[in-house]
Structures are given as C-alpha cells and as structure tokens.
Amino acid sequence: MKSLKDIQKIVSKFNVKPRPEMRSRILDDALRIQRNRNRQSTPGTYIWRIIMKNKISKFAVAAIILVVVLLISPMMSTQSAYAKVAEQLRKARTLTYTLIRQTNLQPDQTVRINVAHKAPHLLRTTTVDGYTSILNDAKGKMITLVPASQMYVTAEYKNVPELKGGDMFEIIERMKNLPRIADEQLGEKEFDNVLAEGYRVFEEDTTITIWIDKDTDELVLIKQEYPSSPGMDYIIRDIQTDVSLDDSLFSLTPPAGYKEGPKLSADVAKVTEDDFIRFFETWVNLSVDKTFPPTFWSPEFGKIVIELAKQGKFARPWTDADAQTIYQGNMFLAQIPQDDWRYMGQNVKYGDPNIPVFWYRPPGSENYRVIYADLSVKEVAPENLPE
C-alpha cells in the first residue's frame, strides 16, 4: 500500500497543470481516501462521493482515480482469496455456521451454537443438547424450545430500529459487510491439518480475523474480538453459504407434546434505561451470591440461565414476571449499536459504587452513560470511560 509520502510524490508529478488550489484539493482528497480506506467496504462508492462533492475538472478526476488505483492495486493483487470470500458472504442467501463463545461461567468454558440463517428475516440457533431458538424478524416473533423440560417460550417485539446492536443478525451483517480489502495479511497457520492464510480487518473497537484455506480458498474460521470487552469475543467455524434450508426449519409452531411457558413481549420504542436497570436489579436479587449475570443479550443467554438454575445459583424459581422483566430490559440494547456499549459485570457482586458494570452511548450523544455495581448511573466523556 502506498504511504502518504508516496501519494504526495505521485500528485507532484502529474502532467496536467491544475491551479495551485486544485493541486492542493486533489492531494487532500487522495490523502482522505488513503486514511479512510480501512473503513470502506466499497472503495469505488467512497471515491465517487468525493468526486460528486467537488466541482473539479476532468483532469483532476482522472488524477484522483489514478492515485486510488495505485493505492488499491497492490493490496488487491495479494488478496484475491480474501476478496472472493468477502464477495461470497456478501451475496449469500443462506448461511450455516457454528458459533463458539465463552460462557463466563467458568474460565475457558465455551458454548457451541449451530446457526442457520435464511435471508433476510429467518434465523435458527441450536445448542448441542437441543436448546433451540427460532426467530422470524419480519413478524417480530420468536419461539424457544427447552427439550429437557419439554417447554416452549414465546416472545414478541416491535419497533426495533434498523441498526440493532449485538444480536445474531448483527453478527451476520458483519460477515456480509466485510470490506473488499483487508487491513493486514497475517501469513500462514494450520487448523486441523488445514493450512490457512490469515487476514485482519479493524472496525472501530472490533478486530475481525479471517482464515482461508490456501488450497481451496474456502473459509476456515472467522474470529471477532472486542479488546475492551474480551468476554464478548467469538469464533465462527464450519461456514457454508447458499445451502438449501427448508422453511419448516424456521416454523414458530411448537412441537407436539411441548407445554407452554412464559409469553414475553416488548415495545422497543418504549424500553428505557430504567427498564435495563430493573433487569440488573431483578437478576442480582434472584442470584444466591448477589452477582451480576455472566453474560446477556446473546444467543446462549437462555441456555446459561438453565445451567445456573441446575447448579442452584438462584435463590428461588423464576416467575413469569421475572422473565418479562429480564426480557424487557434486554431489549433496551436493541436501540444501541454493538460498538457503542460494553458489559463488564461478569460475576461482579452488587453494591460497590466504584465498580462499573456497563457503559453505553445513547444515540446522538457524544458522552456515555456508565452503570455501576450499586446501580447508580453517571454521564462520562469518551476519554474518561472505564478501561
């Protein structure tokens, strides 16, 4: 990739003779392309946006395009496998994969979830012991099947913003919107006797690593990491695109013999920070040791609740009202992009006003809201966020 000095040299050698202010504008635009390249999934779209905003001559347009070609070509020539995979994911109508994630119940303990997605609205997640959630986003409905107790739980939601934070659809959107050029090439690594080439993409506070089979150009593994919140990291394996998925896999009708459990609902437009705090308050009062949840707002949350109940971690059985409060509070996060919130309360005890358990940035705000272990809340500038 060309450096900033390389770009300056290229612009200084143009044969066309633009006015001094035009030369400066060309250089500024080219440098801006270079600085923002990492954030753009479609370089051509970004370039055209710059050109359309500037009333410049056809010679200047040609100059900018020349610089961009010189910037991108070396990267593209060595990233054909990555570019092919990114395009394949982008166009996929169906996706199946295995999600591996920390449970935060015990060190190094993970949960594996099999995921099936049929664009644009259907999703099915299943754990190894059959705990299954089926979601139809177009209808705003979900059903969860608990095979151990032969029970099903239904949930409805409405008024969810287009940009939802942290759910399975968001994970899929990240895969389907990988930039066409990776920020780094990582060299080779072996996975289960498969030699793979690594690529890395940086997005805000997220690092995405992609490993591709050197021989077949097939996806081997994707890892998404949150440096400021490692408990949210996950690995995606066994990825397949455009496999046949019958609509019956996504049926919201419970199997025969299952009994009805709680019926949950939420109007996301009416869910507030107070609802979210009530979720924490309900949880710590249910918890035997008065600790915050090991995780939440994740596909394995319900499974973890069941595991904790089996281990006797709750002071009493959950009521339907408890389940509704937990669900309502969780839906608060549907209003916030995942890059704008972090959870740090895994197994933290309730009560300390100096220990942060959660922070988020309200839409349209420059500052963040930080919730502490005594459930007090403070507004904090970005530079003063907890580490």
DSSP for 64-106 reads HHHHHHHHHHHHHHT-HHHHHHHHHHHH-SEEEEEEEEE-SSS
Say whether the peptide bond before residue 120 is cis (omega within 30 degrees of 0). Answer: yes
Q: Each residue of 331-369: pLDDT tens digit?
A: 898 888 777 888 888 889 999 999 999 999 998 899 999
Residue type for 48, please? W
Token readout for 347 is 């197994």
Output the CA torsion 147→321→326→356 (10° steps): -140
> Pick from 349, 345, 355: which is nearest to 378 by CA?
355
Backbone angles phi, psi at 104, to 5 degrees: 65, 15
* Residues 364-375, mean pLDDT to the nearest whole number: 95
pLDDT band at 64 (very low <50, low <70, confident <90, very high): low
First to last CA, the chain: 33
Q: Each residue of 213-262: pLDDT tens digit?
A: 999 999 999 998 876 655 667 889 999 999 999 999 999 999 999 999 98
Cα–Cα distance measured from residue 360 to residue 213, given in angstroms and rounded to the nearest whole number = 38
> Pick from 120, 110, 129: which is nearest to 176 by CA?
120
Q: Which helix (H) or strand (E) holds 211?
A: strand 206-213
Q: Are 270 and 329 in contact (CB under 8 A)?
A: no
Output the CA torsion 192→198→199→205 (10° steps): 60
Of residues 42 and 80, more confidently modeled: 80
| DSSP code of residue 270 | G
Q: Each residue of 130-189: pLDDT tens digit?
A: 889 999 988 999 999 988 889 999 999 988 876 444 467 778 888 888 888 888 889 899
Full set of structural domains in the chain with CATH: 4-77 (no CATH), 82-250 (2.50.20.10), 267-384 (no CATH)
pTM assigned to the model: 0.70
Q: Which residues lie below 8 Å from residue 103, measured CB to CB, with a gap of 6+?
A: 109, 110, 111, 294, 295, 300, 304, 307
